[in-house]
DNA sequence: CAACCTTATGCAATCGATCCCATTCCAACT
DNA sequence: AGTTGGAATGGGATCGATTGCATAAGGTTG
């Protein structure tokens, strides 16, 4: 038979209320009674039914994690961090994959609410601000990650795509490069826009105009990378540096460069976006902009846990509009960039920005 | 105020029992009543509280997913498939990351049980068969994936590592190679052992003995791959083919081969284990053994859902010992393998095995 | 010794949905 | 007309833990 609090209470010779209080650490219980109950619980191998507790206390100790997919490195890195942090604080993570479909995302949010989650970490499409606001009104904590819906009142943890792209481009400019290629994402995507903006800004700061013949923007696929790099290599005068800001495209760019015999950094200096193991072990090791996926997840969970503790204190108070935080991008210098002319100096030190918006 | 079944019943002018039956599709309800209740529910935007339902019916519509990490490609692929399939069937996935630590794994299993999960997909350490058996006795469905604890009575979905390694090695032998290098995992790991066994078996079938000077076995890290390939390339007579059976090591092997100018497949034919996008887009595209991660996840969820449906019928019947299934490995021929001598023929067709243990 | 407070405990309601059992209503049959 | 049976509905217990309120036991004080 399943062991409930009733059985423990009987074993210890007390009432259910007393047993409950003893196990939950209430101060209204004598030391002997507490010991007796704890011993009885241990003897019977009692494990409380969280479902019942959740129904009564309105605390499920579940948090939802909504994201596009688990294939992308940033996403599964964040998922790992969120799960670890949650588990360490006694929360379990319910996982939802949306494929960047707002309808699926909304359905998933409602399902999470039906399961009584205490909070939600949302790496979302940005289309369901209204739904998350409604959930917040019902007392569910929410944190937006990477993207923040315009109409969302929940706090957000954002990446510094523009700053990261700026740092990458500035680094190449510092090395003396002027013809700097850009392979990025669609302008419709947030990261596509922001990273291009950072690239453009860095160029203009040095009095350079972006050169359309050096710019390729397209879908987040390796195939696009293969095509884009082939086109860029065919143009003359050839670029001397390349900023690969479309992570998936990198999977197409690097093999093509290797097979066509372009020497890195001899013929071409290269900076890629998002740090993954491959790039560190590539030959040569690739200089990257690390968007700080772990830190994004870490900070998001901190904010969520903070909200959860607040809620415990002031049930049903007003929910203040959330602040936005930004995790600085970090330029990690490796061996894929070099001065254009021989003898140039290598500027040192990673560039980090941690600003609050 | 939160809308419960009580409010819906009041709005529709019926009792809570009737409202419940109307919404759950009981046949004991007249068409008009049903319509009235459904309309009231829609008007009030009623969303049932799954927690309450779960407490009463002992069906939480939650399934647990236990795995080592989300970084490894096979793991996050399986996680995606499991989540998708679960969501499609109305189940939500609770995620647990164990870092291959049996103690963490056990704690997580118990927590899942406390949350009342209906089932568990377990990509486990193999050390918690007793715990999973106990959960099964309490009515929780369990499926083991990739590894099956010796003492576990739950069904298992296993990879065909030995067959996959055999197919890879046989393919290289068919191409006329005889000096075939092997870079694999530690013999203490399941996959390390099995893949080496397949390699060895294929050699012996052709009357060849494994040559220790061509064999490197070590940890699942890119760094090990870098060292191992360097050692193998230094030995004479040099191997003409390489079977890279340690997935993480591949991250170190490929860049080293590229930078040291070893022509593939000209100087060296190469087969790697586990198919990931990088390998398809490498130059040349790498021939791989695909362990069928998606299929493993798919089959595991099928088995789990099957058990869940069974349970609904015969509550608390006997739980028969689970069958083991094996997902065949698949050799995917690309451009990284070629005959040793010029003019050799290329054998065609992937090798697949789907056997039941 | 009564009035009173403190401390520890038990009783019973509660969370929200489900489902067994009883009840009502109406039609059909003897 | 009286009985039977089926269909539709309502009442209330139930899942298991939590918690407000009442109360008992023990100690102190006027």
Query: What distance, in Å, lies between the first and last C-alpha atoms of chain B?
Result: 56
CB pairs under 8 A between A and B: 138
Q: Where are the beta strands (DSSP E) in chain B?
A: 62-67, 92-97, 119-122, 141-145, 156-159, 180-185, 215-218, 241-244, 269-273, 287-290, 324-327, 330-332
Please say if the pLDDT value at position B346 is more than 90. Answer: no
* Interface subset of A 119-158, CB within 8 angstroms of B: 138
- Report which residue is nearest nucleotide D7 when distances run from CA to C1': B28
Interface contact flag, B255 A283, Cβ < 8 Å: yes
Of B275, B284, B280, B268, give the one whose Cα is nearest residue B338.
Answer: B268
What span, in angstroms and rounded, lies between the C-alpha atoms of B141 and B146?
Answer: 17
Question: Which chain B residue has the Cα nearest residue A252?
Answer: B281
> Torsions phi, psi of B117, nearest 5?
-60, 145
The gap between A17 CA and D14 C1' (Å) is 18
The alpha helices in A146-292, defined as continuous H runs, are: 161-174, 190-205, 222-234, 247-259, 277-281
What span, in angstroms and rounded, lies between the C-alpha atoms of B193 and B231?
Answer: 21
Q: How confident is the model at residue A258 (pLDDT cuts 50, 70, 90)?
A: confident
What distances in angstroms separate CA B59 from CA A170, B83, B92, one per listed residue?
57, 18, 12
Question: Which nucleotide has its C1' atom closest to residue B30's CA?
Answer: D8
The two tokens of residue B353 are 């095995």
Question: Which chain B residue has the Cα nearest residue A286?
Answer: B255
Q: What angle do CA B124, B291, B348 make, to 5 degrees?
A: 165
The gap between A7 CA and D12 C1' (Å) is 25
Q: How far is B132 from chain A (nearest CA, A)?
A: 15
Question: Which chain B residue has the Cα nearest residue A250?
Answer: B278
Instruction: State which H helix or E strand residue A332 sits in.
Output: strand A330-332
Q: Which residues contact A180 (CB under 8 A, 6 or more apart)?
A: A169, A172, A173, A199, A203, A214, A239, A240, A241, A242, A243
The gap between B28 CA and D4 C1' (Å) is 20
Q: Is B2 on the interface with A (CB under 8 A)?
A: yes
CA A148 to chain centre: 12
The gap between B87 CA and C17 C1' (Å) is 22
Fold matches, A5-48 and A59-159+294-322: no
Q: How confident is the model at residue B319 (pLDDT cuts 50, 70, 90)?
A: low
> Torsions phi, psi of B348, nearest 5?
-115, 165
Q: Which residues contact A39 (CB under 8 A, 6 or more apart)?
A: A12
What span, in angstroms and rounded, lies between the C-alpha atoms of B130 and B152?
Answer: 7
Determine the residue among B42, B51, B106 to mutate to test chain A binding: the one whose Cβ has the most chain A Cβ atoms within 10 Å.
B51
The pLDDT assigned to B229 comes to 97
- Express as a percent the part of chain A with pLDDT over 70: 92
Write down the CATH number for the domain with range B5-48: 1.10.260.40
A228-246 pLDDT, tens digit per residue, is: 999 999 999 999 999 999 9
Q: Which residues contact A203 (CB under 8 A, 6 or more apart)?
A: A169, A173, A180, A209, A210
Q: How confident is the model at residue B190 (pLDDT cuts 50, 70, 90)?
A: confident
The two tokens of residue B345 are 């023929």
Residue spans of the domains in chain A: they are 5-48, 59-159+294-322, 161-290
The two tokens of residue B300 are 């595991």
Task: Give the bridge partners for B64, in sequence order.
Answer: B94, B120
Q: Is B316 on the interface with A (CB under 8 A)?
A: no
> Torsions phi, psi of B33, nearest 5?
-60, -45
Q: How confident is the model at residue B341 (pLDDT cuts 50, 70, 90)?
A: low
B191-226 pLDDT, tens digit per residue, is: 999 999 999 999 999 999 999 999 999 999 999 999
What distances in angstroms separate CA A348 from CA A175, A334, A338, A342, one per listed residue?
11, 11, 12, 17
What distances in angstroms separate CA B99 from CA A153, B102, B218, one per listed residue?
36, 9, 19
What span, in angstroms and rounded, lies between the C-alpha atoms of B245 and A110?
Answer: 44
The pLDDT assigned to B312 comes to 61
The two tokens of residue B151 are 């003492």
Tell me if B147 sits within 8 A of B125, measured CB to CB. yes
The gap between A24 CA and C7 C1' (Å) is 18
Please say if the pLDDT value at position A345 is more than 90. Answer: no
Determine the residue among A1, A57, A76, A123 to mutate to test chain B binding: the one whose Cβ has the most chain B Cβ atoms within 10 Å.
A76
Which residues of chain A make contact with B3, given a CB cutoff of 8 A? none
Q: Is residue A353 exposed (0-12), middle (13-18) or buried (19+ Cβ within 10 Å)?
A: middle
Q: Is B1 on the interface with A (CB under 8 A)?
A: no
The gap between B30 CA and C30 C1' (Å) is 30
Q: Which residues of A208-242 are buried (b: 16+ CB within 10 A; e: fewer)?
A: eeeeeebbbbbebbbebbbbbbeebbeeeeebbbb
The gap between A60 CA and C14 C1' (Å) is 17
A317-321, A337-341, A347-351, B54-58: least confidently modelled range: A347-351
Question: Which chain A residue has the Cα nearest residue B224?
Answer: A281
Instruction: State which H helix or E strand residue A327 sits in.
Output: strand A324-327
Please say if the pLDDT value at position B347 is more than 60. Answer: no
> Torsions phi, psi of B119, nearest 5?
-160, 165
* Interface subset of A 248-307, CB within 8 angstroms of B: 251-252, 255-256, 258-259, 277-278, 280-284
Tell me if B121 sits within 8 A of B65, measured CB to CB. yes
The gap between A312 CA and C9 C1' (Å) is 27
Q: How far is A357 from chain B (nearest CA, A)?
A: 31
Half-sphere exposure (Cβ direction) of B176: Cα atoms closer than 13 Å: 10
The DSSP symbol for A214 reads G
Interface contact flag, A70 B71, Cβ < 8 Å: no
Q: What angle do CA A271, A273, A278 make, to 5 degrees?
A: 85
Please say if the pLDDT value at position B345 is more than 90. Answer: no
Q: How confident is the model at residue A283 (pLDDT cuts 50, 70, 90)?
A: confident
Question: Which chain B residue has the Cα nearest residue A58?
Answer: B51
Which residues of chain A make contact with B53, given a CB cutoff of 8 A? none
Q: How far is A329 from chain B (nearest CA, A)?
A: 21
The two tokens of residue B223 are 């760094």
Please say if the pLDDT value at position B254 is more than 50. Answer: yes
Query: 3-class SS at A217?
Result: strand
Average pLDDT score over residue span B312-320: 56
What span, in angstroms and rounded, lies between the C-alpha atoms of B327 and B146?
Answer: 10
Question: Which chain A residue has the Cα nearest residue B48?
Answer: A114
- Is the domain spanning A59-159+294-322 CATH 1.25.40.10? The answer is no
Write down the CATH number for the domain with range A161-290: 3.40.50.2300
* Interface subset of B 56-85, CB within 8 angstroms of A: 60-62, 65, 69-71, 76-77, 79-80, 83-84
The predicted model scores a pTM of: 0.90
The pLDDT assigned to B320 comes to 72
Which residues of chain B make contact with A92, given a CB cutoff of 8 A? 94-96, 111-112, 115
What span, in angstroms and rounded, lies between the C-alpha atoms of A137 and A140?
Answer: 7
Query: 3-class SS at A18?
Result: helix
Q: How confident is the model at residue A320 (pLDDT cuts 50, 70, 90)?
A: confident
Strand D contacting residues by CB (7 Å): A 2, 4-6, 16-17, 20-21, 23-24, 46, 48-49, 52-53, 55-57; B 13-18, 21, 27-30, 32-33, 52, 55-56
The pLDDT assigned to A127 comes to 94
Q: How confident is the model at residue A299 (pLDDT cuts 50, 70, 90)?
A: very high
Question: Which nucleotide has its C1' atom closest to residue A34's CA?
Answer: C8
What distances in angstroms separate CA A310 from CA A87, A303, A315, A316, B132, one per listed residue?
19, 11, 8, 10, 37
Please say if the pLDDT value at position A344 is more than 50. Answer: no
Which residues of chain B make contact with A70, given a CB cutoff of 8 A? 70, 76-77, 79-80, 83
Which residues of chain B make contact with A54, given a CB cutoff of 8 A? 51
Q: How confident is the model at residue A27 (pLDDT cuts 50, 70, 90)?
A: confident
Instruction: DSSP for B294-313, please give it.
Output: HHHHHHHHHHHHHHHHHHHH
Kindly report whether the peptide bond that precedes residue B237 is cis, defined as omega within 30 degrees of 0: yes
Write down the CATH number for the domain with range B58-152+294-317: 3.40.50.2300
A146-173 pLDDT, tens digit per residue, is: 999 999 999 999 999 999 999 999 999 9
Q: How confident is the model at residue A317 (pLDDT cuts 50, 70, 90)?
A: low
Interface contact flag, B281 A222, Cβ < 8 Å: yes
| Pairing outcome for strands B180-185 and B241-244 | parallel
The DSSP symbol for B146 reads S
The pLDDT assigned to A313 comes to 53
Which residues of chain B make contact with A225, given a CB cutoff of 8 A? 281
CA B22 to chain centre: 40
What span, in angstroms and rounded, lies between the C-alpha atoms of A331 and A274?
Answer: 10
Our separate counts of H helices and E strands in chain A read: 13, 12
The pLDDT assigned to B317 comes to 52
Question: Which nucleotide has its C1' atom closest to residue B53's CA?
Answer: C17
Which residues of chain A make contact with B278, given a CB cutoff of 8 A? 251, 278
A38-91 pLDDT, tens digit per residue, is: 999 999 999 999 999 999 999 999 999 999 999 999 999 999 999 999 999 999
What span, in angstroms and rounded, lies between the C-alpha atoms of A159 and A291?
Answer: 6
The pLDDT assigned to A322 comes to 85
B124-142 pLDDT, tens digit per residue, is: 999 999 999 999 999 999 9
What span, in angstroms and rounded, lies between the C-alpha atoms of B19 and B14?
Answer: 7
Mean pLDDT across chain A, nearest whole number?
91
Query: What distance, in Å, lies between the first and last C-alpha atoms of chain A?
Result: 56
What span, in angstroms and rounded, lies between the C-alpha atoms of B252 and B350?
Answer: 27
Task: Give the bridge partners for A184, in sequence order.
Answer: A217
The two tokens of residue B277 are 């996008």
| Pairing outcome for strands A92-97 and B92-97 | antiparallel
Query: 3-class SS at A93?
Result: strand
Interface contact flag, B87 A93, Cβ < 8 Å: no
Interface contact flag, A95 B97, Cβ < 8 Å: no
Strand-by-strand arrangement of the A180-185 sheet: A215-218, A180-185, A241-244, A269-273, A287-290, A330-332
Look-up of token digits 């003359």: A236
Question: Which chain B residue has the Cα nearest residue A4?
Answer: B114
The gap between B6 CA and D3 C1' (Å) is 38
Interface contact flag, B284 A259, Cβ < 8 Å: yes
């Amino acid at each position: 038979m399943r062991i409930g609090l009733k059985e423990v209470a009987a074993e210890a010779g007390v009432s259910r209320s007393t047993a409950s209080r003893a196990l939950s650490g209430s101060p209204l219980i004598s030391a002997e009674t507490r010991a007796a109950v704890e011993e009885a619980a241990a003897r019977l191998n009692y494990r409380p039914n969280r479902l019942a507790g959740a129904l009564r206390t309105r605390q499920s100790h579940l948090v939802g994690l909504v994201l596009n997919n688990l294939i992308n490195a940033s996403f599964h890195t964040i998922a790992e961090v969120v799960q670890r942090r949650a588990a360490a604080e006694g929360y379990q993570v319910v996982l939802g994959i949306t494929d960047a479909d707002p309808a699926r995302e909304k359905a998933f949010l409602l399902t999470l609410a039906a399961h009584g989650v205490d909070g939600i970490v949302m790496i979302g499409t940005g289309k369901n601000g209204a739904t998350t606001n409604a959930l917040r009104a019902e007392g569910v904590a929410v944190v937006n990650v990477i993207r923040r819906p315009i109409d969302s009142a929940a706090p957000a943890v954002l990446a510094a795509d523009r700053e990261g792209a700026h740092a990458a481009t500035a680094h190449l400019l510092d090395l003396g490069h002027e013809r700097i290629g850009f392979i990025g994402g669609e302008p419709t995507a947030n990261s596509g826009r922001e990273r291009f903006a950072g690239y453009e800004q860095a160029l203009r700061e040095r009095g350079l105009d972006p050169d359309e013949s050096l710019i390729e923007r397209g879908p987040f696929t390796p195939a696009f990378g293969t095509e884009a790099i082939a086109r860029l290599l065919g143009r003359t005068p050839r670029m001397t540096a390349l900023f690969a800001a479309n992570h998936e495209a990198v999977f197409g760019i690097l093999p093509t460069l290797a097979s066509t015999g372009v020497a890195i950094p001899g013929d071409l200096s290269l900076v890629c976006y998002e740090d993954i193991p491959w790039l560190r072990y590539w030959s040569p090791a690739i200089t990257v902009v690390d968007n700080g996926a772990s830190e994004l997840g870490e900070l998001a969970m901190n904010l969520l846990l903070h909200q959860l503790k607040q809620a415990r204190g002031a049930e049903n108070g007003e929910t203040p509009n959330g602040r936005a935080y930004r995790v600085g991008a970090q330029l990690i210098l490796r061996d894929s960039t070099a001065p254009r002319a021989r003898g140039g100096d290598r500027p040192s030190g990673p560039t980090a920005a941690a600003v609050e918006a």
